[in-house]
Structure 1
Amino acid sequence: MFGGGGGGLDPRKMEQMMKQMGIDVDSVDATEVIIRVDEDTELVFDSPQVTKMDARGQNTYQVVGSPEERDRTDTDTQTETVDIPDEDVEMVAMRADVDEETAREALKQNDGDLAAAVAELE
């Protein structure tokens, strides 16, 4: 369909055709792209080439590079390292009418924010 032969189209001709069809192509200056595959795994592209195509308001991104597969359980340790004072746990447990273990977990998930923990539990 495009150009016959084995070489494909000249990039300039391809760009002209895309403009005629209303497709804008721009380079995105990205330093890292992370794709979360599932709750335990992510693909990390360091210094990728990223292209954004805008076809009549519908954006499509193309990422070119070699990803590193990373285990997310190694990077999601922030909630376990938050130091939660016992007084805060007691206050959230009393206010939200839950046990202290539930209150502590809500505080960890909300980075120690008392109001957010109570709001989550109510």
Structure 2
Amino acid sequence: MKKLKKILTSILSVIILVALLTGCGSKSPSDLIVGRWIIPGEEDNIRTTFSLVALEFFSDGTYTSNLSNYSGNYSIDGDRIKLAGILVEPLTVTFELDENTLTFYSDNGEYMREYQRVE
């Protein structure tokens, strides 16, 4: 009986440990991208530019921007993000993301632009 109790306790301990470790995983890019992003130094040009200066991503897979056409749905596949807008061709770029910096690169790997998270 003591041996069975010891085995069950060991198994239960392993199950609890595994559950705790899987719950402590890092956030995915889809989680980290949620929030408002802006190109540093371009805050004053948001209403007068025809460039994507400000982006805001939401957890439901939608986004808005300073350009009315570029608001819609986004999807992430690995290191690629696709922005689908209204009456425009979808834009798909490679991106790098850390907690406060979002960088876009063209298909050939050239730097396009860098956004900073707005708190």
The answer to whether TM tops 0.5 is: no
- In terms of fraction of residues, the more strand-rich structure is 2
Q: Which structure has the bigger radius of gyration? A: 1
- In terms of fraction of residues, the more helix-rich structure is 1
Higher RCO (C-alpha 8 Å, min separation 6): 2
TM class, shorter-length: under 0.3
What is the TM-score of this pair, normalised by structure 1?
0.23
What is the TM-score of this pair, normalised by structure 2?
0.24
